[in-house]
A and B are shown apart, each in its own frame.
Chain A
């Protein structure tokens, strides 16, 4: 456990010791601030419905753009950096299992992801000053962001084990994220209602709307939890087999 925490701590700090973290953080804040301003402008118009502010804050298209773009960039350095510098050898010859390494690195990256989202709480505080906001849905919306972020990051972690090149890792994870994300949006193509149910099970957009409404469905927890675990498992298997070619 202590060794796991050593890896998590190093990984999380490593983000803040490189310019990449600040670029991602700054870009995220600029974009989300801009979107927040648009949101406020439109909500203060005469046609806006009351009490919808929170829903818009978490379910606008831009949230998905942040997630789909930032996660590959957060995850891309996890393993390629270690393999390029050779520190992977140090890591894997210390008395730590491969699973601990993958989990530790993933958790460190996830910590950074959460740190990135933390400043967005300010928007909630601002909104709360002007419009009634229930804190329950705020918590569940953040839970949704965390769950989706965890799944995306586990895919990014898996992609980063596959290659020594950070850019390739980022492109790979992007290429895996897009189909997984958009599979749930296929219902527009389907007319058969029985299949729509199945597709809806994967519909992250809908999941996020539920979370932002304050609905925490245990099926969602299982869905995200098991998929995240699956990709981390894949990453561990690949890490094990990649040693031969390190």
Chain B
């Protein structure tokens, strides 16, 4: 539903997006992850027809955003950064306006507004002024505005920014249910969000896609040694016993606050956590905690977007030069 081919957007002073290619299928939620200023918003603005690309193409539901801009724009719902709304309007008024603006006509306006209100759980505040709503409700109103005309493609720029944890969970649930029948591209710099919501992740940095895959794939691709952590009650000598388990490479032990904490570094693909449990049972140790330390997406992200001084800047202009040099 969203197809992006070699998309580049340059400003006089900088390259915001450099040669980006990706696609989003129907029924898929793709997370666009990157630090601030990486080019997420610029890419989304090109996709929504707000900015023209410098080169490359982008299609929404088969319509080129440059040559068939109107058709492309009609097929998408866009939630811009910072939930832009008209504060003086009432929620239903605003949604009806958005529906009309998107070309919904006649009695359909009312039913679409009712559906959007239902879907985004806005029933309680439907007739209140947007100005008087809490931030969570405003964000939901903006989301409802993006989907009131039931577009096949949704582009959401930081949909959960500035919300409290309960609100974030609600919005995420909403997005997940929306993604079942649509193509959704959402941007975020919050990592757990991608884990919680997205089927696939694109990590963008300095205008380039530096990694792509499911959250699990990215983790395993970049993961080092798997690590297991075990916490036992009391002061127990477990080090040798643990080190004897198959798959365990190294054990670190630490005693504090009436606990013994062990950190087991394992061979790749090994998971001796069950053995740790059986060992504890057999020896009569009280096992308080047993966890597998997955490389968090955060670690993946930091590894990919860390800018070492020595690393050459991956700016578009420098690419040909470095090729020539090598």
Binding site for B on A (CB under 8 A): 2-3, 5-7, 9-10, 14, 17-18, 85-97, 243-244, 246
CA of A92 to CA of B86, assembled, Å: 15
CA of A150 to CA of B48, assembled, Å: 33
Q: A86-B82, A89-B78, A90-B145 are known contacts; what are 4 more A-B pairs with Cβ within 8 Å?
A: A5-B100, A6-B97, A95-B74, A243-B51
- Cβ contacts under 8 Å, B76 to chain A: 93
CA of A17 to CA of B97, assembled, Å: 15
CA of A244 to CA of B89, assembled, Å: 28
Interface with A: B101-109, B112-120, B312-320, which one? B101-109
Q: Report A150 CB to chain B, min CB distance, Å.
A: 24
* Contact among B48, B49, B70, B89 with A17 in the assembled complex (CB-CB below 8 Å): B89
Question: Given the known A-B contacts A85-B85, A243-B51, are A93 and B100 also in contact in the complex, defined by CB atoms under 8 Å?
Answer: no
CA of A244 to CA of B16, assembled, Å: 12
State the 10 A-B residue pairs at the shortest beta-carbon distance, nearest first. A86-B84, A6-B100, A17-B88, A95-B74, A93-B48, A89-B80, A87-B84, A95-B73, A94-B101, A95-B70
Mostly, the B contact residues are loop
CA of A6 to CA of B50, assembled, Å: 20
Q: Report B48 CB to chain A, min CB distance, Å.
A: 4
Question: Given the known A-B contacts A17-B89, A85-B85, A95-B73, are A90 and B51 also in contact in the complex, defined by CB atoms under 8 Å?
Answer: no
Question: Given the known A-B contacts A90-B80, A95-B70, A95-B74, are A18 and B100 also in contact in the complex, defined by CB atoms under 8 Å?
Answer: no
- Cβ contacts under 8 Å, A3 to chain B: 100-101, 103
Q: Report B100 CB to chain A, min CB distance, Å.
A: 4
Closest A residue to B88 using CB positions: A17
* Contact among B45, B80, B88 with A18 in the assembled complex (CB-CB below 8 Å): B88
Is A2 touching B100 in the complex (CB atoms < 8 A)? yes
Is A243 touching B50 in the complex (CB atoms < 8 A)? yes
Tell me which of A10, A86, A93 has the highest count of chain B C-beta atoms within 10 A of its own C-beta: A93
Is B81 touching A86 in the complex (CB atoms < 8 A)? yes
- Which residues of B48-95 are within 8 A (CB) of A? 48-51, 70-71, 73-74, 76, 78, 80-82, 84-89
CA of A7 to CA of B87, assembled, Å: 16
- Cβ contacts under 8 Å, A18 to chain B: 88
CA of A5 to CA of B101, assembled, Å: 9
> What are 24 A-to-B residue pairs whose CB atoms are below 8 Å?
A2-B103, A3-B103, A6-B101, A10-B86, A10-B97, A85-B84, A85-B85, A87-B84, A87-B85, A87-B86, A89-B48, A89-B78, A89-B80, A89-B84, A90-B78, A90-B84, A90-B98, A92-B49, A93-B78, A94-B102, A95-B73, A95-B74, A95-B102, A243-B51
Closest B residue to A5 using CB positions: B100
Is B48 touching A91 in the complex (CB atoms < 8 A)? no
CA of A2 to CA of B80, assembled, Å: 24
Q: Report A32 CB to chain B, min CB distance, Å.
A: 27
Q: Report B179 CB to chain A, min CB distance, Å.
A: 20
- Cβ contacts under 8 Å, B98 to chain A: 90, 94
Question: Given the known A-B contacts A6-B100, A93-B48, A243-B50, are A86 and B87 also in contact in the complex, defined by CB atoms under 8 Å?
Answer: no
Question: Given the known A-B contacts A94-B102, A95-B103, are A14 and B88 also in contact in the complex, defined by CB atoms under 8 Å?
Answer: yes
Q: Report B261 CB to chain A, min CB distance, Å.
A: 49
- Cβ contacts under 8 Å, B78 to chain A: 89-90, 93
- Cβ contacts under 8 Å, A9 to chain B: 97
- Cβ contacts under 8 Å, A246 to chain B: 50
* Contact among B74, B82, B86, B103 with A14 in the assembled complex (CB-CB below 8 Å): B86
- Which residues of B291-323 are within 8 A (CB) of A? none
Q: Report A245 CB to chain B, min CB distance, Å.
A: 9
Closest A residue to B90 using CB positions: A17
- Cβ contacts under 8 Å, A6 to chain B: 97, 100-101
CA of A48 to CA of B71, assembled, Å: 65
Contact with A along B233-269 (1 / 0, CB 8 A): 0000000000000000000000000000000000000
CA of A54 to CA of B145, assembled, Å: 50
CA of A17 to CA of B89, assembled, Å: 8
